[in-house]
Amino acid sequence: MAGKTFYDVHCHVMNLSHPNFLAFLRRFEPTLLDHPIKIFFGANLAMLSYLVFHTFSPRTLTRILNTMGVTDLLNRVKNLLVIMEHDAASVFQMLDREMHQELLEGSRLSLGNFHYDKIVLTPLMMDFGYKNMTNPAIYYNAIPVQKPIVEQVLDLFNGIRTYYQGKETKERFFQVYPFLGINTSNYTMEKVEKMLDKYFGEYSGNPLELEANQGKFNGDIDSMGSNFFSGIKVYPPLGFDPWPEDPEERKKSECLYEFSSCKRIPITTHCSNGGYRIIDTKDAELYSSPARWALVLKNFPELKLNFGHLGNQEGKGKNKWAQDIFSLIDQYEHVYTDFSCRGFDDQYYRSLRKMIAQGDSGLKKRLAERILFGSDFSINLLWMNSYSNYLKIFRDTPYFSQQEKDVFCSQNPESFLFS
């Protein structure tokens, strides 16, 4: 078959200066909690070693960690931190090199008889903003840490420019179409309107116009306009409530939805009870839930919305959010979901196949048209050692046909991004 485009609709390219680092550390809590017994016994072995031998060498620590099975976890954390120490251009260059070394046949990525000439990445920016980031118990954290989105914009687009200029078009395997992170609670109504007009006022949804702007950033954010961003990312655990009770906050959210619906701008929302979190667990789950978005879609049925992570609920062992998302897909024409940070092994794809099979024929057809491939790179490195490995598992899983995989990674994403 002729060359096509593979889309990764859910990924991140950020460095350690972008998130509030205390919020970033919370991302490791679910992973660490998966190993409480190992960590408990490891700590006790370390203490016993010190009491008996009155010394504690690095070799002893390594032996204890290996014995308790914690070494792999620590190596994954370090692997993620290595990526986040690099600037965006270096990350794109590393991924490009990895693809050529690990996956490409000639200059193409192949899934059976389907061949892809390029991968489109849509890095999802996260608006960490200013609010709710104080911690009075910490001496130097009494003043809110400022994390304006403008710093991420500058870093990401400077990185894209360096990546684009450093490779000839025929050698460059990635195209990069970022999503702008917006948390309406961080801004006044006037600022929300100005942001939308500045970055999306002349938005066309035309991939050719997006491609024409990529690599053309001149370093001056004031000169940026429309068609640099391909969509908008919202992140409830950072305090974004999709349907606020407060009337003034509601107006700002409605402004975002009305603008996006009219211009058919795709929005991706985090939909998992894991992730970066700066608000309490109860509110984070409420804001992230599909039920909260059902209120939005009832009022803005034309909104083009993607639920990230297919409603993952860590530690609950159920698929309620996934089923709620499927119900919304059944009701609304422009609702999608991606399985980013889920496809770590064949068992996940087996369970996804079973979930899809439970619907009636009409729902099955709609789900087949609305499920999207996503990796959640670089955060997925907490569970997976490389970007290429995540792609290989998707490529090789026997639970979906070549045709179905192509629909997930090419046809459906084009519909979400550009239709």
Q: Following DSSP, what letter does each residue of 356-419 receive, concatenated?
A: HHTS-HHHHHHHHTTEE----TTGGGGT-S-HHHHHHHHHH-TTS-HHHHHIIIIIHHHHHHH-
Number of separate domains in the chain: 2
Please tell me whether residues 222 and 98 are part of one structural domain.
Answer: yes
Give the chain's largest Cα–Cα span: 71
Per-residue confidence of the chain (419 residues) as pLDDT tens digits? 457 999 999 999 988 877 766 555 555 555 555 555 555 545 555 554 555 444 555 565 556 556 555 667 778 888 988 999 999 999 999 999 999 999 999 899 999 999 999 999 999 999 987 555 556 666 666 555 566 788 899 999 999 999 999 866 667 999 999 999 999 999 999 999 999 999 999 999 999 999 999 899 999 999 999 999 999 999 999 999 999 999 999 999 999 999 999 999 999 999 999 888 888 889 999 999 999 999 999 999 999 999 999 999 876 657 899 999 999 999 999 999 999 999 999 999 999 999 999 889 999 999 999 999 999 999 999 899 999 999 999 999 999 999 999 999 999 999 999 99
Structure tokens at 168: 């000839």
Please tell me whether residues 311 and 345 are part of one structural domain.
Answer: yes
Please tell me whether residues 100 and 237 are part of one structural domain.
Answer: yes
CA angle 97/101/106 to nearest 5° reads 105
Assess if residue 28 is contained within a domain: no
d(CA 318, CA 265): 31
pTM of the model: 0.87
Q: What domain range includes position 325?
A: 4-18+87-418
Please tell me whether residues 134 and 57 are part of one structural domain.
Answer: no
d(CA 205, CA 197): 15
Q: Following DSSP, what letter does each residue of 326-360 receive, concatenated?
A: HHHHHH-TTEEEE-TTT-SSHHHHHHHHHHHHTS-
Assess if residue 169 is contained within a domain: yes
Q: What is the CATH number of the domain that holds 343?
A: 3.20.20.140
Assess if residue 79 is contained within a domain: no
The H or E element spanning position 232 is strand 231-234
